[in-house]
Amino acid sequence: MEIILDPAFFTSLIQVANLKSENYLDFERFLGKLKNCKLIVFCDSFENFYKKVKEDPYLELLINNSPVELEIHQLLLNEIKDLAFYKNGSCFKLFMLNESVEVCNTLSEQFGYEYLSSENLEKKWTIYNSSRDDSSRKVTARTSLPANNRFDSWDCLDTYIHPLTNILINDSYILNDKQNQKIRDNLLPLILKLAQKAPKNLPLEITILSDPSPNYLDYEKIHARLSTELDQFLGADRYKLNLIRFSTHDRFILTNYFYITSGKGFTFFREDKGVNYNSTTTIEFYFIFSTQKKVLIFDDLMEIKEKLEILQNSDPGTYSKIIHYFPRKESRIFNLIS
C-alpha cells in the first residue's frame, strides 16, 4: 500500500480546512492509525524531508507510525501526471497533494485513484469516514428498516462510488446464472455500479474468482457473454476481464479502496426485483487503508496468489480440455506493496 504525499498538503490543509468538521477530525484520526504503508514523498532530499518532519506534526505522525518504506522523489509532481508512474507498484495508492480541485479531478479521471487536497478533503472524506452510519446494511426489502441500513437494490452502492483501477470478486456462485440468481440481475449491475469512476488512461482490471463445484461452467462462453455486455457499457478497450475457477469460503469484493463482505455472497436480487436472503445476510464496507482487518485481508490475498501461481489449464491437445482460468490469472491487485 502506498501513500503519495506532497508535504505542502498539510500546510495548506491547516490554512483552509474547517478543523472542527467531522470529516477533518476523522481524517486526523486516520493519520494517527495509518500503518504498514510505503510513503512516497515529494522533496529534494531525505535531509530536508526530516527537517520538515520536525516542523510539521502531521508528518511526524506519519513517520512515527513506521512506514514500511520511505522514498524521496524530487520530480514526483511531474511523475504522477505520467502513465508510467501507475504501471508499477501497488494498486493500493492514496494521494495527498497541494493541488486544486480541478487538477485532482483530472488526475482521478485519467488514472483511477483518489487525490486528496485541502480544497476537496471535506467532500471526498465523506466516502471514507469511519463513523458513517451506512457501512453495515441488511439485505432486505423491509421498509421498516431505515434506508441507511437497508440494501434493497444495487443503487445502494451509489454512496460508495469511488475511483478504482481494480475489482476483485470472490464468490463461488456469482457466475452460476441460476433462476432468481441471474448474472444480469446481480454480477453485471454490480460491476457497472462500481465501475462508474474507472480511469480513462488505464484499463479497469476485473477479476472474478468463482468455483460453483460440482457444477461445471464454460468460462470461455461466460467470458464472451460478459464481454459483450461490458463492451457496450464500458467500451472494449476500457477493461480487462479474467475469470478464475477458484474461490475461498469467505465471499468478498476488493477494490483499491474498499473491502466489501457478505456472508451469503452477492447474488442478492431475483428476476422479479425481489430480494434473496431477505433479512438473513448483511453487506459490510471497510475502507482498506484504515480497517483493522487489513493485515488479515492481505494475508488472505497472499495465500490466494500463491495458490493461483500453481493453477494451470490443461494442455489444449489433451483429450479432456480443462479451463481453470480465462484468459489470465494474474492481477495487480495481488501486488500489495511493490
Domain boundaries, the chain: 2-128, 139-334
Q: Which three cell numbers stand for residue 333?
A: 491487485
Asked if 107 and 80 touch (Cβ cutoff 8 Å), the reply is yes
| Cell of residue 227, nine digits | 464481454
CB atoms within 10 A of CB 192: 16
One digit per residue, the tens of pLDDT, for the chain of length 338 reads 899 999 999 999 888 766 788 999 999 999 988 888 899 999 999 999 999 999 998 888 888 876 778 999 999 999 999 999 998 889 999 999 999 999 999 999 999 999 999 999 999 999 999 999 999 999 998 888 999 999 999 999 999 999 999 999 999 989 988 887 899 999 999 999 999 999 999 999 999 999 876 667 788 899 999 999 999 999 999 999 999 988 787 899 999 999 999 988 899 988 877 787 777 789 999 999 987 788 888 888 888 989 888 888 875 555 456 678 888 888 889 876 54
What is the pLDDT, as a whole number, of residue 321? 60
Q: Phi and psi for 30 in degrees, rounded to 5? A: -60, -45
C-alpha cell at 45: 532530499
Q: How far is CA 103 from the centre of its chain?
A: 22
Q: Residue 203: in which H helix or E strand, if any?
A: none
DSSP classification of residue 219: H
pTM of the model: 0.92
Torsion of CA 116, 118, 119, 125, to 10 degrees: 50
Asked whether 130 and 290 are in contact (CB, 8 A), the reply is yes
**Rounded Cα distance, 252 and 168, in Å:** 8
